[in-house]
Structure 1
Amino acid sequence: MTGKERREQLLDIGRGLFAERGFDGTSVEEIAAKAGVSKPVVYEHFGGKEGLYAVVVDREMERLLASVTRALTDGVHYRDKLEQAALALLEYIEECSDGFRILVRDSHGAAGTGSFASLLSEIAHRVEHILGREFDHHGYDDKFAPMYAQMIVGMVAFTGQWWLEARKPKREEVAAHLVNLAWNGLSRLEPKPYLDPKRRRKEREKLEKRAEKAAAKAERRGRKSDDEAPEPGWAPQQAESPGPA
């Protein structure tokens, strides 16, 4: 095994142990034993457990940040960007569960990059620019964009932590419902949110037609009631009371 291959082996083993037991619950002896090497080999490559952990955390943070950033830069519509970013996080959770478990433990001081909170702040900073442009486009005050970015990223991150264990429903459905809430708010939730813009547009058109039919029906009922109503000032004549016999 080459030095590069040994290094990758140690990183894979360390990643699994850190995810399962945390930094404090993992020892150099355990890492070396699982790799089939002596402790000095671990020190030779990473200088100790702290160095190995720092590399693991840095790699995971870079991987997740790159994935979310790529999603935010792809697509044209702002909703599409948010959907793809939410889906990117859920894909990372599903495919790199060990890495996400390490990150959400609020990374140990040995990690050079910092904590999960700092990673979320970086993602929120990138979302902030997207929201700022959207706010300007609609005439809203863009000074609130940073606050809304924190809200959206926090909502996605906490949902991701829940979904890490729940794993139901499917990630596409979770992402669709996340953005449904973020985009529409509770008062305008879509009954069946979809990630597919074409499918979503068809569903919206269907709902609009249904609403138009309901409005037309109500209008017809209103006209019918007006036609049947007595004219103003008209009142049914009452029969005269018979006089005294």
Structure 2
Amino acid sequence: MTGTARRRQLVDVGRGLFAAKGLDGATIEEIASAAGVTKPVIYEHFGSKDGLYSVVVQEESALLLLAIGESLGEETKPRVLFERAAMALLTFIEERSDGFRILVRDAPPGQGAGALARLLERITVRVEHILADEFSARGFSAGDGAMYAQMLVGMVAMTGQWWLDARQPDKLTVAAHLVNLAWNGLTGLQKDPQLAG
């Protein structure tokens, strides 16, 4: 096996074990055994178990960010962008469940926030710009876009975490309900909301 192929194998094996057991639960011995190598091979490629974990997190983060980024691409209609973003996240969860479990579970060593939290911050900034323009066009405060971006991204992310294990209903139905709540809630926004109590 070439060095590149071996590295790919170790990342794939590590992803599965980290998803099942977490960073602390998966041992370097288990990873080596599952890959059919000795521990020094892992150290040679990644320096440590933490190094392998960081590579897995970076790879999954990049793939999720790419999927969401592409969903927020060319279309200018906010509802369509929201639909695409919701579907992109649910599709990532469906196709890369192990990767999403890792992003949700543990922060890489030496990093305060979890990988998913850091990714959501980056996605929120993009959504904020979209909402700021839309809010301005409707006569609302563009500055409120940041707050509403947090709400929308949080709603989708929390639903995604629930759906990771629930898997019912199917992703199209979940996405439709997310868009229904977000869009119909957004279309009825008041410029100066007040609490009833």
Q: What is the TM-score with the length of structure 1 in the denominator?
A: 0.73
What is the correspondence of 1:144-183 to structure 2 with a 5 Å cutoff?
A: 144-183=144-183
The aligned counterpart of 1:115 is 115
The aligned counterpart of 1:65 is 65
- Larger Rg over CA atoms: 1
What is the correspondence of 1:116-155 to structure 2 with a 5 Å cutoff?
A: 116-155=116-155
The aligned counterpart of 2:86 is 86
Q: 1:110 to 1:37 in 2, by over 3 A?
A: farther
Task: Give the superposition deviation at 1:148.
Answer: 0.3
Which amino acid is 1:69 matched to? G
The aligned counterpart of 2:192 is none
Q: Distance in 2 between matches of 1:106 and 1:147?
A: 26
The aligned counterpart of 2:47 is 47
Identity percentage of aligned residues: 59
Task: Give the superposition deviation at 1:114.
Answer: 5.2
Q: Distance in 2 between matches of 1:110 and 1:95?
A: 28
Q: 1:28 to 1:104 in 2, by over 3 A?
A: same
What is the correspondence of 1:26-41 to structure 2 with a 5 Å cutoff?
A: 26-41=26-41
Task: Provide the alpha-carbon RMSD of the alignment.
Answer: 1.8
Task: Give the superposition deviation at 1:119.
Answer: 1.1
What is the correspondence of 1:182-193 to structure 2 with a 5 Å cutoff?
A: 182-185=182-185
| Aligned residues of 1:50 and 1:110 also touching (Cα < 8 A) | no
Which amino acid is 2:138 matched to? H
Q: Distance in 1 between matches of 2:153 and 2:187?
A: 21
Which amino acid is 1:32 matched to? A
**What do residues 66-87 of structure 1 show as CA deviations (whole Å, max 9, x unaligned)?**
1001101132311000100010
| Aligned residues of 1:136 and 1:142 also touching (Cα < 8 A) | yes
* Greater mean deviation of Cα atoms: 127-136 or 105-114: 105-114
Task: Give the superposition deviation at 1:100.
Answer: 0.4
**Superposed structure 1 runs of 4+ greater than 4 Å apart:** 110-114
The aligned counterpart of 2:97 is 97
Aligned length: 188
Which amino acid is 1:123 matched to? I
The aligned counterpart of 1:12 is 12
Q: Distance in 2 between matches of 1:39 and 1:106?
A: 23
The aligned counterpart of 1:21 is 21
Q: 1:186 to 1:151 in 2, by over 3 A?
A: closer
What is the correspondence of 1:193-212 to structure 2 with a 5 Å cutoff?
A: none
Is the partner of 1:157 in helix, strand or coil?
helix
Q: What is the TM-score with the length of structure 2 in the denominator?
A: 0.91
